Amino acid sequence: MKVRFWGVRGSIPSPGPNTVRYGGNTTCIEIRTDNDELLILDAGTGIFPLSQTLLGSLPVTANVLITHTHWDHIQGLPFFIPNFIPGNTLRLHGAFNPVSGKGVEQVMSVQLQYSYFPVREEEMKARIQYVTLAPEQSVQIGSATVTPYLMNHPVVDFGYRIEADGKSVFFTGDHEPSYNIYNIDEEGYAQYQLFIEEKLATIEKAMHGVDVLIADSSYTEAEYPSKKGWGHGTFDSCIQYAKMAGVKVLYCTHHEPTRSDDALEAVFAQALALHPRQPKDPEYRLAREGECFEF
């Protein structure tokens, strides 16, 4: 299995001299099974350079797994070049939207309106299919078993566990560890705490023993209080998840867009200093645009 990062920034593309080393594109991760089946986690701006590499191996069948519909995770989808070429297939997977009452097809239908993009979906030449997923209901994509899990974000957000040929990856999408919204002396605290504990158990099950965990580590612990409720994790929360679930390698991603590469490396080093690796601990890495991890 191969994991290649095409976009590792959060919230908004951040190109420029300060983000050259880790990249400025928003979330997009290519997964290749040992059978060379193509799965793509999110369609941030990183999907545009990915799509250009696919033109040498047409026809393309791409399974795109959308974690959630915030712009930085779908913005590149209209620019997925294989969509403009007959013979290709785009299969878009994602969640039901309880607000609109529509399935994942809404991602394309909204973006491909003339108000936002000059080409309508009806004018796309590729075959486009939609698969609306339900939490913890696995689907088979070639040799890969894909299981979505509900994460914690201000919109329905799926984390995905992908298993194939005895190997496994879990991607959190955007995720903030749940916290009790009640004070300990308020009615409702105990019941909500049970919900949090159940949620944590489900997340541990989702991540358990994976070879690669890719997790939202937008903030430092010092930054987090002013961002609480925005739906993102910290380096520390990701390291704790990785240790709890017994994963082999943790990739921290969704890098804060205002953080330069130098600053990113500095805060990552601080987090590692607070969590020095012990025997059997995971390997900790920063996701870097262009990096490919094969296992």
pLDDT of residue 19: 98
Q: What is the mean pLDDT of residues 247-256?
A: 98
Q: Using an 8 Å Cβ cutoff, are 68 and 174 in contact?
A: yes
Site of tokens 């880790």: 22
Q: What is the mean pLDDT of residues 126-136?
A: 97
Q: What is the mean pLDDT of residues 55-68?
A: 97
* Amino acid letter for position 134: A
What's the Cα-to-Cα distance from 117 to each of 45, 89, 124, 133, rounded to whole Å?
Answer: 15, 20, 12, 26
Q: Using an 8 Å Cβ cutoff, are 69 and 155 in contact?
A: yes
Q: Please give the Cα distance from 73 to 68 (Å, whole number).
A: 7
Which own/partner pairs from 262-267 qualify as long-range (CB within 8 Å, at least 24 positions apart)?
262/18, 264/22, 267/220, 267/235
Question: Residue 64: which of 36, 96, 42, 82 has the closest Cα?
Answer: 42
Kindly report, residue by residue over 25-50, the tens digit of the pLDDT. Answer: 999 999 999 999 999 999 999 999 99
Task: For residue 26, list its beta bridge partners.
Answer: 9
pLDDT of residue 187: 92
How do the domains of the chain map onto residue ranges? 2-294
% of the chain exceeding 70 in pLDDT: 100
Within 10 angstroms of residue 134's Cβ, the number of other Cβ atoms is 12
Kindly report, residue by residue over 76-122, the tens digit of the pLDDT. Answer: 999 999 999 999 999 999 999 988 899 999 999 999 999 999 999 99
pTM above 0.85, yes or no: yes
Give all strands (DSSP E) within 127-180, no chain letters. Answer: 127-133, 139-141, 144-150, 158-164, 167-171
pLDDT tier, 154 (very low <50, low <70, confident <90, very high otherwise): very high
Q: Coil, helix or strand for 181?
A: coil
* Amino acid letter for position 117: F
Q: Using an 8 Å Cβ cutoff, are 24 and 11 in contact?
A: no
Please provide the average confidence, as pLDDT, over all residues in the chain: 97
pLDDT tier, 178 (very low <50, low <70, confident <90, very high otherwise): very high
% of the chain exceeding 90 in pLDDT: 98
What is 2-294's CATH topology?
Answer: Metallo-beta-lactamase; Chain A (3.60.15)
Within 10 angstroms of residue 98's Cβ, the number of other Cβ atoms is 9
Residue 265's contacts (CB-CB under 8 Å, 6 or more residues apart) are 286
Question: Residue 171: which of 293, 41, 34, 32 has the closest Cα?
Answer: 41
pLDDT of residue 219: 98
